[in-house]
Structure 1
């Protein structure tokens, strides 16, 4: 069985290098056979692609996609927090 830190590194490398994602700021945590993706992205499609790449990189683990989608505001616009 591969050590969790090696699996996490492999998944992070896949997220960074895969043409569908190119995402560096995602944290990969492994607890037993559970893999957690955490971080922020700017769109739902990107979040789904990250989950897909993680599942392909570590098919033996149950992937929990906990990535938050943050709507990007256009430059110069004020953010309105409700």
Structure 2
């Protein structure tokens, strides 16, 4: 990314990288860029996926400091039967 890029283009670039990279393939991670820092929020299924977000960002935007506040939300099998009414 260039320093001249408008913030909305930088955000779009980061979102696209996170969505298209096979290590992350994340569409639900929110991206906010202010100055030279990128803030990630949202939810992913594993700790490894969260770490991969940092790796991808280091490659596509090494000039940005990353604040990764993404939460881990397990997507395992249900522990009990769901009742529909």
TM-score, normalised via structure 1 length: 0.86
CA distance in 1, matches of 2:72, 2:66: 17
2:53 aligned with 1:61, yes or no?
no
Query: Does the residue aligned with 2:13 lie in a helix, a strand or coil?
Result: helix
2:19 aligned with 1:13, yes or no?
no
Report what 2:73 is aligned to: 70
Specify every segment of 5 or more residues in structure 2 that has no aligned partner in the other structure, as ranges.
81-85
Misfit runs of 4+, over 2 Å = none
Distance 1:46 1:6, change over 3 A: same
Q: Which structure: larger Rg?
A: 2
TM-score, normalised via structure 2 length: 0.83
Aligned pairs (5 A) from 1:33-44 = 33-44=36-47
Deviations 1:19-74 (A, max 9, x none): 11111101000111110011100100000001111221111111111110112231
Q: How many residues align structurally? A: 77
Q: Which of 52, 55, 62 is matched with 2:55 structurally? A: 52
**What CA RMSD, in Å, does the superposition of the two structures yield over aligned residues?**
1.1
